[in-house]
Amino acid sequence: MAHPNGQNDRVGKLKEIIANTEQNMEQAEEILQTQALSEQQREQLEFTNSHRQASLREFKEELDEEFKH
C-alpha cells in the first residue's frame, strides 16, 4: 500500500505534469495557427504535439490509478 504522503506527492506531481503538457500543447497550436513556419517546422511541432497527446493520456491514466488506491 502506498504511503499517503507519497501518494499525495505523486498526485500533485502528475497534476503539474498534466497542466504543463496541456499548456505546451496549447502554445504549439497557437504557433501553428499564427506564425509562418516552414513545412519542416510545422511537421516537427505537429509530431511533438502528437507525442504530447499520447503522454497526456498516459499521465491521466496514472492519475486515475492513484485515486483508485
| Residue 57 domain flag | yes
Prediction pTM value = 0.83
**Cα maximum dimension of the chain:** 52
| Residue 63 domain flag | yes
pLDDT at 5 over 90: no
| Residue 29 domain flag | no
| Residue 46 domain flag | yes
Provide the number of structural domains found in the chain.
Answer: 1
For residues 5 and 25, the answer to whether their CB atoms sit within 8 Å is no
What does the alpha-carbon distance between residue 24 and residue 31 come to, in Å, rounded to a whole number?
11
| Residue 13 domain flag | no
Give me the residue label for grid cell 499564427: 34
Mean pLDDT score across all residues of the chain: 92
For residues 46 and 32, the answer to whether their CB atoms sit within 8 Å is yes
| Residue 67 domain flag | yes
Quote the pLDDT of residue 1: 43
| Residue 23 domain flag | no
| Residue 32 domain flag | no
**Average pLDDT over every residue of 16-35:** 98
Quote the pLDDT of residue 4: 59
What does the alpha-carbon distance between residue 42 and residue 68 come to, in Å, rounded to a whole number?
39
Which domain, by its residues, includes 59? 39-69
For residues 68 and 1, the answer to whether their CB atoms sit within 8 Å is no
